Structure 1
Amino acid sequence: MTVALWITSALLTMIYLLAGVMKVASSKEAVQPQMAYVEDFAAGQVKAIGAVELLGALGVILPLATGIAPVLTGVAAVGLAVVQVAALVVHVRRGEKSLPVNIALLLLAVAVAALRFATL
């Protein structure tokens, strides 16, 4: 079970680090070609979403890697699952076709949370 937790945590971390850095480090206009939904949000909101994704990505891997407060890995994964539920709502309202990606990320986050809480 530990190997599965590491693999899913690493995958989730890589995906959210990439997405979060892109949103935080780039302007809304630069992000919009890859992420059309940002047109519905203010630039500050896009940066805030990116910051939440970065914190979640770090929270999923750092407590696990350091052994310091390992319960935070599960808490961060639950937070990322909430982010994905919100993303699903936005994408459904916009009629976008990215739902399989959002569902996959939601399932990864739920898996990390379940694996982390199961090993406590």
Structure 2
Amino acid sequence: MNIAYWIVAGLLALFYFYAGTLKVIRSRDQLRPMMAWVDRIPVPALRALGSVEILGAAGLILPPLTGTAPWPASAAAIGFVLLQAGAIAVHLTGEDRRITLNVGLIAAAAVTAWLATKP
């Protein structure tokens, strides 16, 4: 289970670290081709979302890597499940109906949360 956790959590952390960094450093115009929904939320909220994604990525990797308390990794994974549930709601209430990536990220985060609880 340990190897499976590191594979799934590592890929998930890479994705969220990349996506979060883009949301923090890029302008709305630069993000629009990748994220059609960016015009629907204020820039400070977009920056905060990016920061949460970066912190969540760190939460998936750092606690298991350092051997500290195991619960932050589970909490980060569950947070990503909730984040993607909200993302699906944003996509479905707007004009962008593409949610395949969001569903895949929910599945990966749920598997990560489950694997994080295994010894």
Bin of the TM-score, shorter chain as denominator length: over 0.9
User: 2:83 maps to what in 1?
Assistant: 83
Instruction: Quote the offset at 1:28 in angstroms.
Output: 1.9
User: 2:8 maps to what in 1?
Assistant: 8
Q: Which runs of 5+ in 2 are unaligned?
A: none
User: 1:27 maps to what in 2?
Assistant: 27
Secondary structure class of the residue paired with 1:10: helix
Instruction: Quote the offset at 1:68 in angstroms.
Output: 1.4
Per-residue CA deviations over 1:73-120 (Å, capped at 9, x if unaligned) read: 11110111111000010111124242110000001111110111132x
Identical pairs, percent:
36
Instruction: Quote the offset at 1:66 in angstroms.
Output: 1.1
User: 1:105 maps to what in 2?
Assistant: 105
RMSD (Å), alpha carbons: 1.1
> What is the distance in 2 between the residues matched to 1:27 and 1:68?
36
**Number of residue equivalences:** 119
Structure 1 runs of 4+ with >4 Å offset: none
* Match runs of 1:15-94 below 5 Å: 15-94=15-94
